[in-house]
């Protein structure tokens, strides 16, 4: 299993752990030592290196911080030659350099193995050279592409991909994101005891945070915004002008996010659709659902599919519609509990890493003729 970003974080390493546990497969995970976030410039360092069920292999990568260009310098070739896996599962879009590298090496070193890619691109785009060539080559060589939303599936079908194309989404560590009552942090957020409405993620225009600020104005709640980004200064200015009481928190690791969610009552993802940019999944929603929060999301992209019947959906960019949804939950604690229970159940059954691992193993077993070499 190869990843430039997600498997650096230990919560996402739950997936290879579950795959090894459920199948008995010998699993190795290839990652760079860190990843750099383009929007913040910050480094995400490898959080975990040891697990009794799989081995983490750390290798140098070039162009760390840009998934279009990133590839492993020698580590991938060495791993394929020494380990000789039956399945090469790469978390990368077909048009990226890393996908071309993996497809090219598989073809030359392990033609009997099966290449699996993971894709989220939900807009049909023509890429410039060499990425258009990378995409065609990777799609030709990939035995399966696991897509994270239905639009990504349609895009690849339109581009002529004819291999296995199941929808297998992001997952959530339901043992870490779980219902709880972090009363000390709740009192810190809301000394007056008002219900806490939260957002966790990047402070960018596409996330629709100005809609959220307009929606909560004068409502009897405490707003908590956790994250950072280019919109932070503008959001703070709006809060000052409108006398909004907002508790800003810096970006944090998953443990701190889970603790913060246990001090919230409602989680909102107010994303908007921009030219060429829509919400491809909304991973924070499944973290909130797993935490037993009542969630509200806009109707941008895949958000309504992720929420299902386990929360509320409002018209993107419509502050009054969002205000009505928040007010409904603020006024009805029992309804918040109902959605919290539905969300938790949906997170466990549909989005837990065990559920994602089982879905992934079904693909592996089909590729191996239902006789996996495990």
3-state SS, one letter per residue, for 281-318 = CCHHHHHHHHCCCEEEEECCCCHHHHHCCCEEEECCCC
| pLDDT (mean) for 249-257 | 92
Per-residue pLDDT tens for 338-352? 999 999 999 999 999
Which are the contacts of 258, defined by CB distance < 8 A and separation ≥ 6? Answer: 176, 177, 178, 287, 291
| pLDDT (mean) for 82-95 | 98
C-alpha to C-alpha distance for 237 and 241, rounded to whole angstroms: 6
| pLDDT (mean) for 255-275 | 97
Domain 183-351 in CATH 3.90.79.10 = no
Which are the contacts of 47, defined by CB distance < 8 A and separation ≥ 6? Answer: 8, 9, 10, 253
Query: What is the predicted pLDDT for the residue at 38?
Result: 67
| pLDDT (mean) for 257-262 | 98
Query: What is the predicted pLDDT for the residue at 37?
Result: 76
Question: 223 pLDDT exceeds 80?
Answer: yes
pLDDT band at 39 (very low <50, low <70, confident <90, very high): low
Bond preceding residue 140 cis, omega within 30 of 0: no
pLDDT band at 42 (very low <50, low <70, confident <90, very high): confident
Question: 117 pLDDT exceeds 70?
Answer: yes
Nearest to 4 by CA among 90, 115, 105, 130: 90
**Structural domain spans, the chain:** 2-171+352-367, 183-351
**SS3 state at 226:** strand
| pLDDT (mean) for 40-55 | 86
Q: Which fold has domain 2-171+352-367?
A: Rossmann fold (3.40.50)
| pLDDT (mean) for 23-47 | 88
| pLDDT (mean) for 291-301 | 97
Query: What is the predicted pLDDT for the residue at 276?
Result: 82
Query: What is the predicted pLDDT for the residue at 206?
Result: 96
Per-residue pLDDT tens for 161-213? 999 999 999 999 999 999 999 999 999 999 999 999 999 999 999 999 999 99
pLDDT band at 40 (very low <50, low <70, confident <90, very high): low
Query: What is the predicted pLDDT for the residue at 202?
Result: 93
pLDDT band at 152 (very low <50, low <70, confident <90, very high): very high
| Global confidence as pTM | 0.92
Query: What is the predicted pLDDT for the residue at 372?
Result: 38
Mean residue pLDDT of the chain comes to 95
């Amino acid at each position: 299993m190869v990843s430039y970003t997600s498997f650096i974080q230990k919560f996402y390493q739950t997936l290879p752990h579950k795959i090894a546990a459920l199948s008995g497969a010998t699993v190795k995970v290839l990652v760079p030592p860190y990843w750099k976030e383009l929007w913040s410039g910050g480094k995400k360092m490898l959080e975990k290196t040891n697990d009794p069920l799989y081995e983490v292999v750390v290798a140098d990568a070039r162009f760390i911080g840009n998934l279009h260009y990133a590839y492993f310098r020698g580590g991938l070739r060495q791993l394929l030659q020494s380990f000789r896996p039956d399945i090469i599962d790469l978390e990368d879009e077909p048009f990226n350099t890393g996908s071309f590298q993996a497809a090219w090496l598989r073809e030359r070193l392990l033609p009997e193995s099966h290449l699996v890619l993971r894709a989220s691109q939900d807009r049909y785009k023509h890429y410039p050279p060499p990425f258009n060539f990378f995409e065609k080559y990777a799609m030709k060589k990939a035995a399966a592409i696991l897509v994270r939303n239905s639009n990504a599936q349609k895009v690849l079908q339109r581009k002529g991909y004819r291999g296995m194309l199941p929808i297998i989404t992001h997952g959530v560590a339901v043992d870490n994101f779980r219902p709880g009552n972090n009363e000390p942090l709740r009192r810190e957020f809301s000394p007056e005891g008002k219900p806490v409405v939260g957002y966790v993620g990047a402070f960018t225009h596409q996330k629709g945070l100005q809609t959220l600020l307009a929606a909560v104005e004068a409502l009897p709640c405490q707003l908590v915004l956790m994250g950072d980004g280019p919109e932070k200064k503008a959001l703070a200015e709006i809060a000052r002008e409108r006398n909004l009481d907002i508790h800003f928190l810096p970006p944090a690791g998953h443990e701190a996010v889970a603790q913060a969610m246990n001090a919230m009552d409602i989680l909102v993802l107010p994303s908007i659709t921009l030219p060429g940019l829509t919400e491809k999944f909304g991973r924070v929603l499944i973290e909130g659902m797993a935490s037993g929060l009542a969630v509200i999301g806009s109707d941008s992209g895949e958000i309504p599919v992720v929420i299902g019947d386990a929360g509320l959906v409002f018209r993107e960019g419509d502050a009054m519609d969002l205000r009505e949804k928040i007010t409904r939950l603020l006024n009805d604690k029992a309804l918040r509990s109902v959605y919290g229970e539905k969300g938790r159940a949906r997170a466990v059954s549909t989005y837990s890493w065990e559920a994602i691992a089982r879905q992934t193993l079904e693909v592996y077993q089909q590729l191996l003729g239902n006789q996996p070499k495990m």
